[in-house]
Structures are given as C-alpha cells and as structure tokens.
Amino acid sequence: MTIPEHVKKILGTLNREGFEGYAVGGCVRDAVLNRVPEDWDITTDATPEEVKRIFGRTLDTGIAHGTVTVMLGKEGYEVTTYRTDGEYSDGRHPDYVTFTPSLKEDLKRRDFTINAMACGLDEQVIDLFGGREDLLRRVIRCVGTPEERFHEDALRMLRAIRFSAQLNFDIEPETWRALCGQTENMRKVSRERIFSELNKILLSEHPEKLALLISSGMGKYLDISAEELLCSEEIAALPKQKHLRWAALCSNLSGEGAGAVLHSLKSELETERRVLLLVREMKEKLPENLPQMRRKLAAIGPDRMEDLIILKQFGFGSQSSEQEVFCARQRKAAVLEAGDCISRRTLTVSGKDLLKAGVRPGPPIGEALDYLFQLVLNEPELNEKNVLLQRLEEKRRREKE
Ligand code: ATP
Ligand code: MG
C-alpha cells in the first residue's frame, strides 16, 4: 500500500528520533481496499510530550487519550501514543487509558479486525488479527471476544452496522450474535453519537443496511419507530444529502412523526425542519398546473420543491407517475425561468403603496397584500403596481355594493 508524503515525513521523523511510528486504523483499511482514506491517523510509542518536543507545530487535541495533532502546512495529522483502555464501567468510555510500548496492545483495543491494522514507513501491513483476510471475505469481525467488546462500548454495535453499510460487508456470525444479544446497551450511548452513526449509514453506498437495526432489535433503543422506517434500497439512488435520505427513510411517518424522530436524536434544527416539511409534502400530489406550482414554490421555495420532485422520482411518498414527475420539473423550470413573482418581496405593491392608496394600517394591509399576492400567483402578468392597485380598488367597490 502507498502512504502519502506528509505521513511518510511524520513516520520518518519519529523513526529518526528513535521511536516507532505507523499509519493505523481506518486509513490502512481504506488503502488496502483501494479506497481514498478520509484522514491518516498515526500511532507511536512516543509519549505525547515527546511528540510535542519532536514536532514544531502541534495542537493538544486529546492529550488525556494520548492524541496530539501534528501540523504540516495547513494539514493536521493525529498522532496518538500506543495505549490500552482500562475498565469500561459505564459501557461507553474507558475509566482510564494507559500508555504502552507495545503496538500489539494498541491494535488489540481496536474495534474490528479490519480497523486493527498498521503500516510503517516500509509500507508493509502489520496485521495481527486477520484483518486482511476479513477484508477479502468482506466481513466485520470484532477483535477478541465480541460479547466483551460490545459490553465495553455499546457504540461499537452501531459502528459494526455503519461499516457494513459503508463497505457493503456482512457482519460475521459470532459478532452478529453478540450484537443481537446486547442491543439494550444502546441506551447508554448518547443521542449525538447515535445520530452521527445513523447519518453515516444513511449517507453510505448501502443505506438499506439500516434494516440491520431492526433485525438486530436495536431499533427500539434508538427512539426511532423502527417498524415504520422504510429501509428500501431505493434510498441508495437518492443524492447523498442528509435531509433527502432522512425524508425517504421516514416517508411512512407523518411529518410531525418524522420531525419528532429527528428532534429526539438531537438533529440540527435545519435538518429537522426540512425533513418534517418534505415528509408532509410528499403525501400530496405534485403541482399539476402553473398556478399550483407558483403557489407551492411560494410556500416551500425552489430548493425544497426540487427535493420533493427527486423524492417522487425515486418512488417515495404518494405515488407519482414518470409523466407527472417530468411535467412538475418542466413547470418548476418554466416558473423560475420566466421570473414569475413567487415571493412577496417581488410583489410590485408594498405596504407603503397601500397606505398611500388609503388602506387602513394594521391587519387590512396584510389582508390586501395577501389578496394581491394570490392574484399574482394565478396570473403573474398582473404584477404591475397600477394594475394591482386598480384590482384592489375594484375589490373594495364590489364589497361596498
Ligand atoms: P472513518 O473512515 O469513518 O473515519 P475510521 O475507521 O477511521 O473510519 P474512526 O472513528 O475515525 O474510524 O476511528 C479510528 C480508529 O480508531 C478505528 O479505525 C479503530 O481502530 C479505532 N476506534 C474508533 N472507535 C473505536 C471504538 N469505539 N472502539 C474501539 N476502537 C475504535
Ligand atoms: Mg477516521
């Protein structure tokens, strides 16, 4: 496997100073698979103090856990001292960590065999737990005894499903049995970490692996009404956008139900709002004529309209034929290209104009603007100040009669 120059530089410096240094974990796994690693993590027998002394520019990222970030140019590389984890009395974090001079001990604490490989400057992979074989067999297997490893840290169960979705791997039977046996421990994991893993699964190449949450029995501990989730393979066809994929997953729920799921997972508000809106709107038909399209664009905006069309195109929400989807897309483009008024901001009449024209301040202004906006959404060519004021005058006259 090939190690990037920056990483080689760090490993070389460590070696010259008399320390061991290896690329480790996810980057080795990805490089062996010919995937591009997101980041390169480094492990060493040098203590954090020694790492800081050797490298000029460093940041104290997680000193307590032995992690120092070494800066090369604009990029940072996490260099972590070999360590073993102490007892896990809370099922989440080790009570303490101990630095060790042994690479083997450090690899042993890692979650899965495919994540427990290291690679030195010579580009030889050090694989003490059969990680390469598991990559070939395409399985996720715990390092050591699965029951113990999941008991130490319940998040690993969700990580197992996450890696199976990202890599399209199976979970090895013994690891799977252990996982199914202690899903209840998911209660100990924070909502934020659960949400982060669920997002990684949902945004992976194989989001349908979310079905494993349900078949393992984990769903009920995640505050998501698992039986109602739609873990369909079609989700993989959607663009990798959080709100789109969550909306698809929650399409059998009500808009409020979907919003509540995201709320309980401590989603950022923006995603929660988008998903709620999309799930609600997906149950309706797509706009079937230009006025309907303008009204919908005015209500939800062009971006959410496009989301809705995409969701329908891939079969989510109430059924829409290919023809209906095609026409909706054309209508949306037509309205936007024509520059039709779909926002009160581009209405040619303002509240001030209405005051001048003798409309009473307060609610009557709002009502009049509303009336004119609806007129313009139906007939965009009416959006001229004189025309609209005249229409308003006619309406008042009619009402007096
Ligand atoms: P990604 O591509 O998502 O970053 P990764 O394998 O790098 O995947 P990280 O969460 O960045 O995953 O963790 C880096 C490494 O640390 C893992 O490869 C694994 O060796 C180890 N690790 C991370 N979390 C745990 C955990 N909960 N239990 C045991 N080992 C872990
Ligand atoms: Mg990583």
pLDDT of 156-168, one tens digit each? 999 999 999 999 9
Relative to the alpha carbon of 163, which ligand is closest?
1
The residue whose two tokens read 């113990």 is 148
Measured in angstroms, how far is the CA atom of residue 115 from the centroid of ligand 1?
7
Inform me whether the pLDDT recorded for 227 exceeds 70: no
What is the arithmetic mean of pLDDT over 121-132? 97
Inform me whether the pLDDT recorded for 132 exceeds 80: yes
- For ligand 1, atom 25, the nearest C-alpha belongs to 111
186 and 213 in contact (C-beta within 8 Å)?
A: no
Question: Which residue among 77, 110, 149 is best mutated to probe the pocket of ligand 1, counting the most ligand atoms within 8 A of its Cβ?
Answer: 110
11 and 21 in contact (C-beta within 8 Å)?
A: yes
- DSSP E strand stretches across 211-338: none
Answer yes or no: is the C-beta of 156 below 6 A from any ligand 1 atom: yes
Measured in angstroms, how far is the CA atom of residue 364 from the centroid of ligand 2?
59
pLDDT of residue 401: 83
Instruction: Report the helix count and the strand count for the chain, using DSSP H and E.
Output: 18, 11
Relative to the alpha carbon of 116, which ligand is closest?
1
> What's the CATH fold of domain 143-282?
cca-adding enzyme, domain 2 (1.10.3090)
Nearest alpha carbon to residue 139 among 110, 163, 109: 163
DSSP-derived secondary structure for 305-335 = HHHHHHHHHTT-SS---HHHHHHHHHHHHHH
Measured in angstroms, how far is the CA atom of residue 85 from the centroid of ligand 1?
14
What is the arithmetic mean of pLDDT over 247-272? 94
Inform me whether the pLDDT recorded for 229 exceeds 80: no
Q: How far apart are CA 262 and CA 211, in angstroms?
A: 18
Q: How far apart are CA 68 and CA 77, in angstroms?
A: 8
Answer yes or no: is the C-beta of 38 below 6 A from any ligand 1 atom: yes
pLDDT, the chain, mean: 95
Inform me whether the pLDDT recorded for 320 exceeds 90: yes
Q: What is the DSSP letter of 93?
A: S
Nearest alpha carbon to residue 371 among 359, 289, 300: 359
Answer yes or no: is the C-beta of 153 below 6 A from any ligand 1 atom: yes
pLDDT of residue 87: 84
Long-range contacts of range 130-134, CB-CB < 8 Å, 24 or more positions apart? 131/29, 132/32, 134/172
What CATH number should be reported for the domain whose range is 1-137?
3.30.460.10
Beta-sheet pairing, 41-44 with 75-81: parallel
Inform me whether the pLDDT recorded for 297 exceeds 90: yes
Inform me whether the pLDDT recorded for 41 exceeds 70: yes
Q: How far apart are CA 397 and CA 401, in angstroms?
A: 6
Measured in angstroms, how far is the CA atom of residue 159 from the centroid of ligand 1?
9
- CA distances 232 to 89, 138, 208, 251, 282, Å, are 37, 22, 5, 11, 16
Q: How far apart are CA 377 and CA 342, in angstroms?
A: 7
Relative to the alpha carbon of 37, which ligand is closest?
1
What is the arithmetic mean of pLDDT over 4-10? 96
- For ligand 1, atom 24, the nearest C-alpha belongs to 111
Measured in angstroms, how far is the CA atom of residue 219 from the centroid of ligand 1?
22
- For ligand 1, atom 8, the nearest C-alpha belongs to 26
How is residue 22 written in tokens? 């290896």
Measured in angstroms, how far is the CA atom of residue 332 from the centroid of ligand 2?
41
Question: Mapping DSSP to helix (H, G, I), strand (E, B) and coil, where does residue 1 land?
Answer: coil
